[in-house]
Chain A
Amino acid sequence: MAEKRTEFESLGGNNLDGIGGNAKKITYTAEDGSKKSIQIDCGMKFSEKALTGVDNYIAPLECDDLLITHAHADHIAGIIHHIQMNPERPLNIYADKFTHEFMFAEMTKQGLPLDNMPTFHDVKDGEKFMVNGFEVEPVPVTHSAPGAIAFVVESPDGTRLMDMGDFKTTPVELGKGWEDARMAGVFAKGIDVCFCDSTSTTSKEVTPSYEAVTKGFKKILRENPNAQMMVGTIARSAQQMMADVIAVAEYAKETGTKPRTFILDGASLVQVNNALNKSGLSMTKACYERTGVHVKILDAKSPEARAVPPQERIYMVTGTQGEEMAAMARVSRGENRNIRPSRTCPNLCVNQQAVIPAGDNQAIVDEMMLALRDQGWKTMIPERGAPFVEGETYYVSGHGRAGDMEKVADIAAKNSPADRRCTFIGIHGDETQTHATEEIFKSKGEKVEHITNAQKVVVSKGEVQVSPTIGKASRIAVIDDNDDFMNPDFRYIKQAFNPVSKKWEDVKKIDYEKILVAKNDRGGKGGHGGKKKGNRRHRDMNPALMQKMQKAR
């Protein structure tokens, strides 16, 4: 007879030590030795192809039942590759509706046949559900992507684990987010082990709120009342965009002026806006309910957008890091079909994301911003690492800092049952960050453990133990032999980590039949470019940079 136990294992790069994107497996072993598992997230880690020959690495997908914490690539982007490798797999995905809508849009971009789509199950705060013998409770948290969720997973023997997902502890602008009382209630029921996002714990204080962005953006509006504006953003991190919308509404209300109109330029922004609307998270509606001001959000291709006077326009665009195909870079080259500098009013470009210090990115962004200035745009971009200044800062991260961890520790300390104290473990950060997280909880009197990838946490009879041995870490290297993200030819190679040589070694090439449908051109009659354009963008947006961007969110 086996001993009942519940195990947690990091399958992916939760600790950034060379394994692919975020992925975690929870397994319950019953007395008869039978096992049941579910997985949380299946992300991608980008690779520096010039150095490795690999475009990116994806985490294993070891379960047919998958909980998704939020819609960022390092948590979801491995899934479509696994579907291509095994299209008959009956995959069930449990996530917030916005996350589903976004994932569906991404899968259609890559041309996944409808017959091979996973089955999406919407989850909601307060509605527990059963998956493969586990009772799962979704708990909203705050992150830059709307619909971010922490999952409490209760195994059949009553063991309760919580994966916090990516989080910070200030309020959201859209939908549901972190609430101290909600989290207090979760801890009050008893959590045996809590796994904490640790990307930014060495930074002091609490990560500033999106309300701070609203204040900073209002200052920009105040100082540039007659400028045509273009704002660079990351589409799926829509909480910050919503903070801008609120700023416009409040500024109009305070000054008695007509609110500016947001004009979305680019597929990602149009799709995210649609996903928000279909998820009941309309930015226009939420803004009106909060401020009583109706702010219009239009499509840059619409006649209505072209009729908006330049000084009332705020173009929202992607391409904050100078990606060649994105709208902002196209404007800088004078190639954007929808956005031109106005000749009748000043022009202001606000790049709402700091430059990520990787590769030649600083030079690329500098070149783009210089080209914009040459066209007559005044430019603004936040300085990386600059201290938060109330009323000035107009960009904030979606990840918690030391102050957020302290808040979690205080809530747990105050609410956890005396006979069921929680053990905290830092994940999703390098060793410095995860240790920093664990030190904070330790300093607050909480129990802590430390794990690396493929190292199991075992809970049996209420006792929490970290397996002294590290399991076999594996990942899948994804190589695009076409080197063209719009018309890729993927090769998949399973790799395993050799603990003796401490190197990743190829295990086998994974044969598959291609089912994804590439994009044939760049927009038919109205489109631009082709394979080489896509290729160049791929090169410019170097993988290390993309990975760091994920952390920056």
Chain B
Amino acid sequence: MALQWKDYCEIADALNEAYPDMALTDMPDEELIRLVKSLPDFDDAGDPDETVLSAIWNRWVYVAYPEG
């Protein structure tokens, strides 16, 4: 099923699969948007708000860093 902005957990998992070695500190919102839109399963023409982007970023950090 196509990913939409609100699916932040699934987007974070997909980002971590696609970019496992990405450093996430200080990532600009524009870069995060670009990476999400690059995901093959992503299909949402809408614009994300700050809350959505923050949720995706925080969840991505959680799944990407095994050090807790």
Give Cα A520–Cα B25 distance, bound, in whole angstroms.
22
Which residues 126-174 of A have a CB within 8 angstroms of B? none
Q: Are A265 and B13 in contact (CB under 8 A)?
A: no
Q: Are A525 and B20 in contact (CB under 8 A)?
A: yes
**How distant is B2 from chain A, measured CB to nearest CB, in Å?**
17
Interface on chain B toward A: helix, strand, loop, or mixed SS?
Answer: helix
Q: Are B67 and A109 in contact (CB under 8 A)?
A: no
Interface size class of B (residues with CB under 8 A): 20 to 34
| Nearest B residue (CB) for A518 | B9
| Nearest A residue (CB) for B62 | A109
Q: Are B59 and A326 in contact (CB under 8 A)?
A: no
| Nearest A residue (CB) for B59 | A108
Contact status of A266 and B63, CB under 8 A, knowing A524-B17, A525-B17: no
Q: Are B13 and A318 in contact (CB under 8 A)?
A: no
A270 contacts partner chain B, Cβ-Cβ < 8 Å: yes
Give Cα A521–Cα B57 distance, bound, in whole angstroms.
17
Within 8 Å by CB of B25, from A298, A317, A323, A521, lies A298
B9 neighbours in A (Cβ, 8 Å): 111, 517
Q: Are A274 and B57 in contact (CB under 8 A)?
A: yes
Within 8 Å by CB of B64, from A265, A273, A523, lies A523
A370 neighbours in B (Cβ, 8 Å): none
B61 neighbours in A (Cβ, 8 Å): 105, 267, 270-271, 274
B57 neighbours in A (Cβ, 8 Å): 274
**How distant is B48 from chain A, measured CB to nearest CB, in Å?**
11
Interface on chain A toward B: helix, strand, loop, or mixed SS?
Answer: mixed
Q: Are A527 and B66 in contact (CB under 8 A)?
A: yes
B68 neighbours in A (Cβ, 8 Å): 266-268, 318-319, 323, 325-327, 537
Q: Are B55 and A326 in contact (CB under 8 A)?
A: no
A274 neighbours in B (Cβ, 8 Å): 25, 57-58, 61
Give Cα A146–Cα B61 distance, bound, in whole angstroms.
21
Contact status of A302 and B23, CB under 8 A, knowing A104-B58, A525-B17: yes
| Nearest B residue (CB) for A120 | B51
A: number of interface residues (CB 8 Å): 51
A336 contacts partner chain B, Cβ-Cβ < 8 Å: yes
B59 neighbours in A (Cβ, 8 Å): 108-109, 111
Q: Are A104 and B54 in contact (CB under 8 A)?
A: yes
Which residues 11-64 of B have a CB within 8 angstroms of A? 13, 16-17, 20-26, 51-52, 54-55, 57-59, 61-64
Give Cα A326–Cα B67 distance, bound, in whole angstroms.
5
**How distant is B16 from chain A, measured CB to nearest CB, in Å?**
4
Q: Are B22 and A266 in contact (CB under 8 A)?
A: no
A528 contacts partner chain B, Cβ-Cβ < 8 Å: yes
List the interface of chain B (C-beta within 8 A of A).
6, 8-9, 13, 16-17, 20-26, 51-52, 54-55, 57-59, 61-68
Top 7 A-B pairs ranked by shortest CB distance?
A299-B25, A266-B67, A302-B23, A267-B65, A327-B67, A526-B20, A108-B58
Known: A109-B62, A264-B25, A326-B67. 7 other contacts (CB 8 A): A114-B51, A265-B67, A327-B68, A517-B9, A523-B64, A523-B66, A525-B16
